[in-house]
Amino acid sequence: MDNTHFSFVMGSTKLGTFGLVWSPDEDIPKVNRIILSRPDISAGQVIVKQQYIGIISSSCAEMDEVVGQIAEAIDGKDIKFDLDIARLDLCPPFQQRVLSAEHQVPRGQITTYQRIAQHLEKPSAARAVGNALANNPFPIIIPCHRAIRSDLTLGGYQGGLEMKHILLEQEDIELDSKMHVINPEFYY
């Protein structure tokens, strides 16, 4: 992959580091991808060593602001992101629809992959919705941690299940000892 037109900036939170890959889009910087650290690998290792060889570390005022907002959101602050900062056009059309639907789920509420599929009038596409969210290039901006399985278990998350659990609890969503959501307030 040619990374000469991408830059990255790192951010840090109480849940670990994250990387923001960005590029100018018609002279307006936009987010291409957010990479969360996982328990087994840091975001910096993913960016620099695995996926974006040759990428340079740099930032600008707009991306510094986004990094700060992402850090605040991960640390529990209620931040609603504008989708205009994300390069959704890099995603396939179905994934764009899924990500846009997930972006609408407000803080303190959850949805399921099946509910999003029904909302999109694709009732048999729950698995495809799950795959689209599993490959969400904009976690936190698009709060895919608010999507769970129909059996009320967490499903997966780029930053790991412990991070998903903490993010949900910060939004006053209760989970039992087996990581099932208790008394869910559903959106969609």
Question: What does the pLDDT profile of the chain (188 residues) look like in tens digits?
Answer: 445 578 889 999 999 999 999 987 667 899 999 999 988 888 877 766 667 777 888 899 999 999 999 999 999 999 999 999 999 999 999 999 999 999 999 999 999 999 999 999 999 999 999 999 999 999 999 999 999 999 999 999 999 999 999 999 999 999 999 999 999 999 99
Q: Determine contact, residues 21/55, Cβ cutoff 8 Å.
A: yes
Q: Which residues pair with 180 in a beta bridge?
A: 153
Do 95 and 166 lie in one domain? The reply is: yes
Q: Give the pTM.
A: 0.92
What pairs with residue 111 in β-bridges? 147
Q: Does one domain contain both 59 and 31? A: yes
Same domain, 74 and 113: no
Q: What does the alpha-carbon distance between residue 169 and residue 82 come to, in Å, rounded to a whole number? A: 23
Query: Is residue 60 flagged as an active site residue?
Result: no
For residues 74 and 99, membership in a common domain is answered with: no
In a domain, 156, yes or no: yes
Number of folded domains that form the chain: 2
Distance CA 87, CA 185 (A): 30
47 shares a domain with 21: yes
Tell me, yes or no, whether 59 lies in a domain. yes
Out of 85, 110, 137, a domain closes at: 85
34-43 pLDDT per residue, tens? 999 988 888 8
CATH of the domain at 113: 1.10.10.10
In a domain, 61, yes or no: yes
**73 and 105 both lie in a single domain:** no
Q: Which of 59, 85, 111 is the last residue of a domain?
A: 85
Choose, from 15, 34, 144, 148, the residue flagged as catalytic.
144
63 and 101 both lie in a single domain:
no
106 and 81, same structural domain?
no
| 43 occurs within a structural domain | yes
Q: Please enumerate in sequence order all residues whose Cβ is within 8 A of that of 148, keeping only pairs 6 or more positions apart, or say none.
A: 110, 111, 112, 113, 154, 155, 181, 184
The answer to whether position 142 is within a domain reads yes
- Structural domain including 144 reads 91-170
Residue 176 lies in a domain: no
Residue 157 sits in the same domain as residue 125: yes
